Amino acid sequence: MIRSMIAAVSILAATAAAAQTPYAGIQARPIKALSEQQVADLGAGRGMGLALAAELNGYPGPSHVLELADRLELSEDQRARIKALFDSMKAEAVPLGAKLIEQEADLDRQFATRTVTPESLKASTAAAAITQGELRETHLKYHLATVDVLSPGQMQRYAELRGYGGRPMHHHH
Is this structure's pTM higher than 0.95?
Answer: no
Tell me what the pLDDT averaged over the chain comes to. 89
The residue that leads in pLDDT, 100 or 22, is 100
The residue that leads in pLDDT, 28 or 61, is 61
Distance CA 86, CA 142 (A): 8
Q: How many residues are recorded in the chain?
A: 173
Q: What is the CA radius of gyration of the chain?
A: 22
For residue 170, what pLDDT band results from cuts at 50, 70 and 90? low
For residue 92, what pLDDT band results from cuts at 50, 70 and 90? very high
Q: Which long-range contacts (CB under 8 A, 24 or more apart) does 104-107 make?
A: 104/31, 104/33, 104/34, 104/128, 105/30, 105/31, 107/33
For residues 131 and 103, the answer to whether their CB atoms sit within 8 Å is: yes
Residue 88 confidence (pLDDT) above 90: yes
Distance CA 10, CA 164 (A): 46
Residue 6 confidence (pLDDT) above 90: no
Task: Identify the sign of the CA torsion 21, 27, 30, 32.
Answer: positive
For residue 20, what pLDDT band results from cuts at 50, 70 and 90? low
Residue 12 confidence (pLDDT) above 90: no
Distance CA 55, CA 12 (A): 41
For residue 48, what pLDDT band results from cuts at 50, 70 and 90? confident
What is the structure's pLDDT at 165? 77
Reported as a single tens digit per residue, the pLDDT across 118-163 is: 999 999 999 999 999 999 999 999 999 999 999 999 999 999 999 9
Distance CA 106, CA 71 (A): 44
